A and B are shown apart, each in its own frame.
Chain A
Amino acid sequence: EAGVTQFPSHSVIEKGQTVTLRCDPISGHDNLYWYRRVMGKEIKFLLHFVKESKQDESGMPNNRFLAERTGGTYSTLKVQPAELEDSGVYFCASSQGPGIRNTEAFFGQGTRLTVV
């Protein structure tokens, strides 16, 4: 069974540019999460989809970040325009739900974003 896949694995962009990260969750997983780790900091929650609906987006830093999950399958996270402080590793995770299985989330390898 394929795990959670993220694309690209690494992206280097200039400040002011736009970048779109993609996450393909495990097939059948209704829950999809985005997390971010900036240099030297802890992994921070960004938002949570249940199917195509945003369940919780309290962790989104600002309106430069836009997440979508059309059709309840893969998700994209767009950063526009990117700033230097957006650099970090963006993780996507998915889980079945509801209930206890929501805490057994499967993470992707992450996308390392470098804004220069």
Chain B
Amino acid sequence: LAKTTQPISMDSYEGQEVNITCSHNNIATNDYITWYQQFPSQGPRFIIQGYKTKVTNEVASLFIPADRKSSTLSLPRVSLSDTAVYYCLVAGDSGNTPLVFGKGTRLSVIA
């Protein structure tokens, strides 16, 4: 399984755009990049998933360069409620690979 590396923590002011970059140098051809968000006392919540280039949904954007060895989660105009831990995961689509969580990035949004 590809190992991921992300910042331990980040701080941001409200209204700013936040970019969290994740390294996954050993990503396999059939691996997808998935980001989860976890609030205190809750289970992780799926945010976005991509394979290459750019993916955007109502919550975030995911940028993946051509070599796929890293990815960047972009949260536009964060608010206090975006304070959470963000996990970058790499997993294949075989259907049999469990999700492997790293330490995640603890994002603190301050007023």
Q: Which residues of A contact B (CB under 8 A)?
A: 4, 31, 33, 35, 42-45, 48, 55-56, 59, 91-93, 97-100, 102-110
Contact = CB atoms under 8 A, between A and B. Distances in A.
A93 B93 CA distance: 17
A84 B105 CA distance: 28
Contacts of B29: none
Given A43-B44, A100-B32, A56 B95 contact: no
A103 B34 contact: yes
A107 B39 CA distance: 12
A112 to B, nearest CB: 8
Given A42-B102, A45-B99, A108-B43, A103 B91 contact: yes
12 contacts: A31-B95, A42-B104, A45-B100, A48-B98, A55-B96, A100-B93, A102-B94, A102-B95, A104-B34, A106-B46, A108-B43, A109-B41
The secondary-structure label for the interface of chain B is loop
B96 A48 contact: yes
B81 interface: no
B31 to A, nearest CB: 9
A4 B43 contact: yes
Given A42-B101, A42-B102, A56-B98, A103 B42 contact: no
A103 B49 contact: yes
Those 10 A-B pairs whose CB atoms lie nearest each other, nearest first? A107-B43, A98-B95, A43-B101, A45-B98, A100-B93, A102-B95, A103-B91, A97-B95, A103-B34, A91-B43
B73 interface: no
Contact of B43 (A55, A97, A109): A109
Nearest to B51: A100
Contact of B93 (A35, A55, A99, A106): A99
A107 B45 contact: yes
